[in-house]
Structure 1
């Protein structure tokens, strides 16, 4: 599904990722852990094709990233950053965005089902996002990423603003997608979370793949 071959990334000659190689299988769930500033978020941004490696190459479905258009990669490799980025005024504005990009019909029923799944079933699609709490906004962004089932889902501290109950809701939803074949790489600082459900844990330190641990 994904292959990283000797990936390096540096800014102003300062290395962030150093000669990192990794293979990820279809439907695999990987917890990405390590100290703050170790390069975890940069790694996910490289996989998401938001930045390009200084050295090395990335492959998706055995083809180099270069053969895909950025639009094609970003519909198949979905990235949810740590920061909350909402569009427009309403929940519908946000959940309809993926279908707008694809020039597809907005499935309002699916949108409402996803709101239920992330614990926002008491909201209507017409409700304004500005009135929501930080944790609720984070759950809207998660629902938006899941309007279509991605081949690869990249999550950067996706449940950091959520209480335990809603964090568990989101985990269940994400791993339902894994059961259907979605590959997940999930950055987490929650040690307990990093051992639930995942197939393996990778530890990034100083931009290097420091350790891999099988969890199943």
Structure 2
């Protein structure tokens, strides 16, 4: 479903990503690991079409990225950044945003169900986001990302602000949608997490894919 062919990224004469080739199948989960500053986030930002490769090509469903309108591609290949980015005043402001982008009706029942799944059942959609803890805000961003199920979900340290109990809770939600066909690439520095559930584990060092291990 997703294929990278000799993808590279250079900025200011610095090579951040160097000739990475990778194929991702429908419903496949890949843990992306490696040292800080090795290019993992840049790689996911390229796959998420937030920046363009300076070398190589990325294909989605057999077509090059430039064959798609960026807005349409980003609805199918969804990127959740490492930083916690909420907007507006309320939880509803955030969970309604994906439906606004799609010019669709906001499904409040689904939003409430997702809030319960991420462990925030005590909150109402009308509640302010400004008094929430960092971990709670991170879970709102995850719920927002899952209001629509993408074909590819890119997660950059999606549980970094969460304790072990809530990390496992989020993992279960994510891998439930993997079973339904969503492909996931998940950057994690948690070694135990990188060995749970995933079909593959890849290691990025100095911008290169240096290791690739199947779950077996």
Report runs of 4+ in structure 1 exceeding 2 Å deviation.
Answer: none
Measured in 1, the distance between the counterparts of 2:146 and 2:87 equals: 16
**Structure 1 residue 66 corresponds to structure 2 residue 32:** no
Q: CA deviation at 1:113?
A: 0.2
Query: 1:40: which partner in 2?
Result: 40
Q: CA deviation at 1:148?
A: 0.2
Measured in 2, the distance between the counterparts of 1:147 and 1:206 equals: 35
> 1:33-182 counterparts in 2 under 5 A?
33-182=33-182
Measured in 2, the distance between the counterparts of 1:135 and 1:91 equals: 14
Query: 2:187: which partner in 1?
Result: 187
Measured in 1, the distance between the counterparts of 2:10 and 2:42 equals: 10
Measured in 1, the distance between the counterparts of 2:19 and 2:164 equals: 36
Q: CA deviation at 1:82?
A: 0.4
Measured in 1, the distance between the counterparts of 2:195 and 2:162 equals: 18
Q: CA deviation at 1:212?
A: 0.2
Measured in 1, the distance between the counterparts of 2:167 and 2:190 equals: 11
Structure 1: stretches of 5+ with no match in the other structure? none
- The alignment's C-alpha RMSD in Å is 0.5
**Structure 1 residue 11 corresponds to structure 2 residue 4:** no
Query: 1:27: which partner in 2?
Result: 27
Measured in 2, the distance between the counterparts of 1:22 and 1:163 equals: 32
Measured in 2, the distance between the counterparts of 1:208 and 1:166 equals: 32
Measured in 1, the distance between the counterparts of 2:104 and 2:71 equals: 15
Say which SS state the counterpart of residue 196 (structure 1) adopts.
coil
Query: 2:213: which partner in 1?
Result: 213
Structure 2: stretches of 5+ with no match in the other structure? none
Q: CA deviation at 1:87?
A: 1.4
For each residue in 1:76-95, what CA deviation from the matched residue of structure 2 results, as whole angstroms up to 9, or x when unmatched?
A: 01100000110100000000
Say which SS state the counterpart of residue 130 (structure 1) adopts.
coil
Measured in 1, the distance between the counterparts of 2:102 and 2:139 equals: 22
Measured in 2, the distance between the counterparts of 1:111 and 1:146 equals: 9
Q: CA deviation at 1:102?
A: 0.1
TM-score (structure 1 length as normaliser): 0.99
